[in-house]
C-alpha cells in the first residue's frame, strides 16, 4: 500500500469507521533516518488507533525507528515481512526476509526492547520454494521466540522472481486453511488474516476462527464497504455516516490542509471510490479527477462534485455493504 494509505487517506477512512485499526503505508528505516521525519510520521489525532508499518532489516535502525514511532504517538509498530516488490527486495526487506527468520526475530527483539507499544509482524505464508507448511511454521515459531505474539498473515505465498507485485496479489491462490491451521497449532498467538477479503459476509466467516482481519485494496477502492464495521464487529450503536456527510467532512479537511499548502488533489485521489457501486459514481470520479489538478487553494471541488454524486439512501448503503 505504498503511496496509498498516507495520512490523508487514513483521515478519510476514519470518517467511515471510528474503531478500525489503521496502518500507515510501509515506511523504510532509511526514509526516516536520512529523510524528513515529520513528512513521514506526522498524523492527525483523529486517526487513532493507528499503527506505523516499517520496512527494514537492520535491528538497530528498526529499533531507532520504532522509538520514533512511539514518540510520535503511534499505537503499534509493525514490521512488514510481506511486500514482494523489487525495490523492497533490493533493500533486503519485505517478503525476502521470510528466508531469514532468525534475523527477523532479532529485529523484533530489538524493537520490543525499545518501545512499550505492541510490535507486530506482517508476513506471507511462504516465498518461492520455501513454501511448505513446515517452512511457514518454522518462520512463525522462530520469530515468536522474540516475544512477538501478533502476526498478520497474507494467505498467499510470494514469488520474488518472475512475478510483478500486481501478479503477486493474484498468483498463486489464497490458502486461508494454512493460516487457520497455524491458529489451531499456536492458539496463544493473535493471528490476523489478510488477503482477498471484500465483503462483510466473507469477514464474518473468517472471524469464526481468526482473531482479526486486515483489509487493504478493497478498503481503498471501495471504502464505504467499511461503513458498518463499527456496528457489526464492535457493537457500536451509532448509525454509519452517509457518503454525503463523509464527503463534506473531507471538504472541510481539505480547506484546513490548503492553509498548510497541501493541494486538494493530494486528498481527492483517495476519495474517488466513495460512491462505488452506485449509479452516478463515474460522474463523481470524473469531476474530481478533471478538476482537482487545476484547483486553486480553497476551491470547493469536493462540494461541487457532490452535485453529480448519486443519492445516498439507506437501502443503497446496505446493498453496498452486503454486496
The pLDDT tens digits of the residues spanning 49-58 come to 999 999 999 9
Whole-angstrom distance, CA of residue 220 vs CA of residue 215: 9
Q: State the CATH class of domain 7-224.
A: alpha beta
Do residues 53 and 122 lie in contact, with contact meaning Cβ atoms separated by under 8 Å? yes
Active site residues: 83
Our CA angle for 28, 97, 91, nearest 5°, is 40
Boundaries of every domain in the chain: 7-224, 243-322
Q: Is the pLDDT of residue 284 over 90?
A: yes
Do residues 247 and 302 lie in contact, with contact meaning Cβ atoms separated by under 8 Å? yes
What DSSP designation does 168 have? G
- In a 10 Å sphere around its CB, with 0-12 CB exposed, 13-18 middle and 19+ buried, how is residue 116 labelled? exposed
Q: Is the pLDDT of residue 320 over 50?
A: no
Q: Is the pLDDT of residue 233 over 90?
A: yes
Mean pLDDT, the chain, as a whole number? 90
Nearest alpha-carbon partner for 83 in 58, 40, 52, 54? 54
Task: Name the E strands within the chain.
Answer: 22-23, 27-28, 50-55, 76-81, 119-124, 150-154, 190-194, 212-214
Mean pLDDT over 179-198 rounds to 97
Mean pLDDT over 172-176 rounds to 90
Instruction: Report the topology of domain 243-322.
Output: 1.20.120
Q: Is the pLDDT of residue 318 over 50?
A: no
Mean pLDDT over 216-232 rounds to 94
Amino acid at each position: 500500500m505504498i503511496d496509498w494509505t498516507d495520512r490523508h487517506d487514513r483521515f478519510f477512512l476514519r470518517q467511515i469507521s471510528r474503531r478500525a485499526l489503521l496502518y500507515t503505508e510501509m515506511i523504510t528505516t532509511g526514509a526516516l533516518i536520512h529523510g524528513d521525519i515529520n513528512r513521514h510520521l506526522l498524523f492527525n489525532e483523529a486517526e487513532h488507533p493507528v499503527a506505523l508499518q516499517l520496512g527494514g532489516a537492520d535491528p538497530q535502525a528498526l529499533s531507532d525507528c520504532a522509538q520514533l514511532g512511539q514518540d510520535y504517538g503511534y499505537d503499534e509498530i509493525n514490521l512488514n515481512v510481506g511486500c514482494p516488490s523489487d525495490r523492497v527486495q533490493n533493500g533486503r526487506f519485505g517478503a525476502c526476509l521470510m528466508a531469514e527468520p532468525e534475523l527477523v526475530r532479532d529485529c523484533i527483539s530489538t524493537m520490543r526492547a525499545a518501545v512499550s507499544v505492541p510490535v507486530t509482524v506482517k508476513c506471507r505464508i511462504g516465498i518461492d520454494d520455501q513454501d511448505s507448511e513446515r517452512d511457514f511454521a518454522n518462520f512463525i515459531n522462530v520469530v515468536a521466540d522474540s516475544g512477538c505474539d501478533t502476526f498478520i498473515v497474507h494467505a498467499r505465498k510470494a514469488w520474488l522472481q518472475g512475478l510483478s507485485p500486481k501478479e503477486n496479489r493474484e498468483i498463486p491462490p489464497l490458502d486461508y486453511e494454512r493460516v487457520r491451521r497455524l491458529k489451531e497449532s499456536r492458539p496463544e498467538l493473535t493471528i490476523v488474516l489478510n488477503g482477498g477479503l471484500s465483503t462483510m459476509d466473507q469477514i464474518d466467516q473468517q472471524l469464526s476462527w481468526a482473531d482479526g482481519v486486515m483489509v487493504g485494496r478493497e478498503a481503498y477502492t471501495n471504502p464505504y464497504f467499511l461503513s458498518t464495521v463499527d456496528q457489526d464487529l464492535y457493537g457500536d450503536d451509532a448509525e454509519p455516516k452517509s457518503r454525503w456527510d463523509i464527503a463534506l467532512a473531507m471538504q472541510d479537511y481539505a480547506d484546513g490542509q490548503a492553509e498548510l499548502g497541501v493541494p486538494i488533489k493530494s486528498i481527492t485521489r483517495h476519495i474517488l471510490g466513495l460512491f462505488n457501486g452506485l449509479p452516478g459514481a463515474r460522474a463523481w470520479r470524473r469531476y474530481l479527477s478533471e478538476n482537482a489538478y487545476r484547483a486553486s487553494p480553497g476551491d470547493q471541488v469536493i462540494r461541487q462534485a457532490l452535485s453529480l454524486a448519486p443519492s445516498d439512501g439507506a437501502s443503497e448503503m446496505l446493498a453496498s455493504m452486503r454486496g
